[in-house]
Amino acid sequence: MPFLGGWKNKMVAANTALKSDTSSDYNVSAIRADFPALGLKINDYPLAFLDSGASAQKPVQVLDRMDKAYRLEYANVHRGAYTLSQLATDNYENARTTVANFVKAKTPDEIIFTRNVTAAINLVAHSYGRTFLRAGDEIIISHMEHHANIVPWQLLRDAIGVEIKVVPVDDHGNFLMNEFEKLLCPKTKLVAVTQVSNVLGTVLPIKKIVQQAHNAGARVLIDGCQGIVHGGVDVQELDADFYAFTGHKLYGPSGIGVLWGKLDLLNTMPPYEGGGDMIENVTFERTTYREAPARFEAGTPPIVEAVGLAAAIDYMTDIGFQNIAIHENKLLAYATDGLTKIKGLRIIGQADIKAPIISFELDGVHAHDISTIIDSKGVAVRAGHHCAQPLMDRFGLSATARASIGMYNNTEDIDQLIDALNYVKEIFN
């Protein structure tokens, strides 16, 4: 699968000439104007928001659409026989169709709305894991997983006795394919890996991982919450069994995530949560369940959040996922080049193919101090362990600062980051 967000590290030199974002078909100024938060002044400086990997800002197209859905189109879904409820239901189900078309699912029935990516992975761990895995079966994850793709499997291990195997990462942050192949064996029942490392920016070879896992007879879950943002996904071409992502990193609202699964597989899985809307018939003796996706959407769903997510996808689709990825990759090269020139700064994660995420250390300065000081210059980055402690331990780090680039960032944001980091050095020297 061509991963549009992929950026070859060796292209640094070729891209460092970039000084402006005015590529012919990408108008970053117009895009920035759609995001109210980007007009903020923080501590008298324009906000340079470089934390989209944690959660992205929202365009007016999403905000206005959700506002309208709450003001004029709101009722509960799948329940009322009145006009407004039908309208809300149509909006909710149309959002499902928008998501299905976006990820190229076979049918909207393969799209389950969840609370976030964490809930999507927990759904698979509970419903699929507890039904189809047995004590002694093995689950393979990578060393680059964030806690959302580690802890659900540990809970499953503690409950039923499966084993967890971890694919190591090399010093540059590359996924070690040969080590993965060594771990695959007849006991492997599930492979659960991220598409993109949220700390190192590494783009994992997920197409190949899926093929190898299937050859070994294992199912595959891809955590796409960082990956889908930088180029989208084609789930049919990828051919994984589950693909999970979240709305709030995709310029949509918080409170909504998506689990895509192959329909025949989903329909063999029992419900994860019980409640209204997921049942066919309930008596006190026996309840029968509807098919996917309703089976996995107990209770009132995130109605307006679904509408907002669809609006975000429409917004990105209008601009073009490929255009966004090209823009972000240029900025990644520009930022990598600029940061590398700061003496004492070390970039953690130099994988062969990277998404626009840059973790770094500055000699003698803790990431938390970096974050506080550059905030005084209007720059927002994440500092800490990024909910990926095993990976931090692997690189001997307790915390890094992380700049993550989104569709609305420009070279001025990067320049502001670099100036602010020089100010950090000034204070600490």
Residues forming the site for another protein (CB under 8 A): 43-44, 364-369, 372-373, 376, 383-385, 389, 392, 398-399, 427-428
Q: Does residue 225 have an active-site annotation?
A: no
Find the shortest distance in angstroms from Cβ 380 to another protein.
Answer: 13
Q: What's the rounded Cα separation, in Å, for the pair 113 and 135?
A: 30
Tally Cβ neighbours within 10 Å of residue 299.
10
CA nearest to 39, candidates 47, 31, 51 = 47
Distance CA 420, CA 221 (A): 39
* Closer residue to another protein (CB): 134 or 368: 368
- All residues at 6 or more sequence positions from 278 whose CB lies less than 8 Å from its CB, including other chains: 271, 289, 290, 294, 295, 296, 297, 298
Closer CB to another protein, 185 or 427, in the complex: 427
Complex with another protein: residue 304 or 373, whichever CB lies closer: 373
Calpha distance 340→331 (Å, rounded) = 14
Q: Least separation, in Å, of the C-beta of 399 and another protein?
A: 4
Beta-carbon-side half-sphere exposure of residue 406 (alpha carbons within 13 Å): 25
Min separation Cβ 374 and another protein, Å: 10
The pair phi, psi for residue 387, each rounded to 5°, is 50, 35
Task: State the minimum distance, in angstroms, from the CB of residue 154 to another protein.
Answer: 17
Choosing from 100, 387, 391, 414, which is the catalytic residue?
387
Q: Within 13 A of 38's CA, how many CA atoms are on the CB side?
A: 24
Instruction: Please report how close the Cβ of residue 386 comes to another protein at its closest, in angstroms.
Output: 9
Backbone angles phi and psi of 156, in degrees to 5: -65, -40
The nearer residue to another protein, 125 or 383, going by C-beta atoms, is 383
Q: Which CB, 274 or 344, lies closer to another protein?
A: 344
The residues assigned a catalytic role are 387
